[in-house]
């Protein structure tokens, strides 16, 4: 996975074709976005640090949102 921008992560999360799950454990929070069974992106929040990651080729899932 590679770093992506927050806006790209939000577009993936808001897409009705995608499901997401959130998990919090102490100070660490993880949000994972799935397309079917495939993990396509995740956000990791640890203390005040927030990082967004996407799989290689995540942009094709952004385009799928724009077409619908």
Each residue of 9-54: pLDDT tens digit? 999 999 989 999 999 998 999 999 999 999 999 999 998 999 999 9
In our burial notation (b when 16+ CB lie closer than 10 A, e otherwise), range 33-67 reads: bebeeeebbbbeeeeeeeebbbbeebeebbeeeee
pLDDT for position 53: 97
Residue 67's pLDDT band (cuts 50, 70, 90): low
User: Is residue 63 pLDDT above 70, yes or no?
Assistant: no
Residue extents of the structural domains in the chain: 2-67
pTM of the model: 0.84
Q: What is the CB-side half-sphere exposure of residue 62 using CA atoms within 13 A?
A: 15
User: Is residue 65 pLDDT above 90, yes or no?
Assistant: no
């Amino acid at each position: 996975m590679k770093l992506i921008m927050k806006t790209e992560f939000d577009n993936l999360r808001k897409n009705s074709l995608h499901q997401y799950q959130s998990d919090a454990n102490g100070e660490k929070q993880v949000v994972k976005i799935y397309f079917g069974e495939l993990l396509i992106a995740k956000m990791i929040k640890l203390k005040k640090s927030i990082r967004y990651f996407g799989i290689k080729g995540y942009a094709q899932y952004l385009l799928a949102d724009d077409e619908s």
